[in-house]
Amino acid sequence: MKPAVSTRPTSPDIAVLVAALAAVAASVLVLHFVPGINPTTVGFMLLLIVLSTATTASLWVALAVSIAGTLALNFFFLPPVRTFTVADPQNWVALAAFLVASIVGSNLSATAKERARIAVERAQFLQEREAAELARQRGELASTLLASLSHDLKTPLTAIGVAVENLRGDLPSDERRSQAEAAIAELVRLTRLFDDLLDMARIDAAVIKIQREWVTPADIVDAALAHSRHAMKNHAVRVEADADGVVNVDARLTSVALSHLLENAARYSPADREILIEARNVAEGLNVTVTDHGPGLDPEEIQHLFERFYRGRQAQTVAPGTGMGLAIARGLLNALDGRVWAENAGGGGARFSMIVPGTTRPLAVEA
């Protein structure tokens, strides 16, 4: 369908019309005094004015200039001159060709401008729709985060309150110890939650400072296990990590990222099945994999696992969580120019792998 072309007069159009008519008059005045001027040459000059007008004004302006140019060509340059009479039939053809060319060119130019305008409006509409969708997604994320945090805050706070209230009573020493340990465990859980929020805020603000040092892969695994000991305490862990070579990485950020992978494995792996941690120095830097024996990953959801607050359908039924851990791991590794990915392990379960770029060397070489 041919796009609609606006014909409503506007102040800019009137200004262009006046300027174009003045250009036609000036051209006629100049060319009229050129000895032996060819009407074809005049026609081309006037056609240029018409087409130039069509690129800057509405169609009706270009059409008006086309008619003015046709009349000027006839009156001043086609014999008998200074009359609107056309004696030679060939001049009728030339005059008609000029008028048709002017009208067609003006219409094409106006149509092209209208299509360009529609394209710009469509692009703006798409941008506005994308912005609205992004705002909606952010709103959903905020609602999800609020709901998750409300649950994750209320549960430990309630448990701590109950434990403290029980400690106020006259309890046997074993019971008092059990209540105190329960309160401490929930405090550790709260502390971990706030640490996650702070890490996410640092990632969003891009204020993560990188401090590289020479460490062994085994050092990174030990630090990550210590950081996630509250989640790993009920799981058997098998570690296969190099201790005879070192790699130059940020040990704190790398171990924190690994701890989130470990906590994820502990959350979904049965307590009677071990979690395997493999850490090696490779050509690219440090490579660590964490393999669990949980329910595995839905292939359709793997690409979304590292999105913040995302939890798969199966994950939501297996264990509680905020969906921040894997997103934080990816954010920290991105800051280190590293990467992390997930896949289903052979024989069941899931395998999460991470690469942290860094120079490696044998342990015996001095820095």
H/E segment holding residue 276: strand 275-281
Q: Which two tokens stand for residue 239?
A: 């570690």
Contact status, residue 58 vs residue 13, Cβ threshold 8 Å: yes
H/E segment holding residue 249: strand 245-249
pTM: 0.53
Q: Where are the domains of the chain?
A: 11-128, 144-205, 213-362
Does domain 144-205 sit in CATH 1.10.287.130? yes
The 10s digit of each residue's pLDDT in 132-176 is: 877 776 666 556 555 555 655 666 677 778 878 777 777 788 888
The 10s digit of each residue's pLDDT in 253-303 is: 999 999 999 988 988 888 888 999 999 999 999 999 999 988 888 888 888
Helices (H), 206-250: 217-227, 229-232
Per the prediction, the chain carries an average pLDDT of 79
Q: Encode 295-323: b = buried (16+ Cβ within 10 Å), e = exposed.
A: bbbeeebeeebbebbbbbeebeeeeebbb
Domains 144-205 and 213-362 share a fold: no
Distance CA 61, CA 6 (A): 11
The 10s digit of each residue's pLDDT in 184-242 is: 777 776 776 677 667 667 666 777 788 999 999 999 999 999 888 888 888 889 999 99
Long-range CB contacts for residues 125-132, cutoff 8 Å, separation at least 24: none
* Fold of the domain built from segment(s) 213-362: Heat Shock Protein 90 (3.30.565)
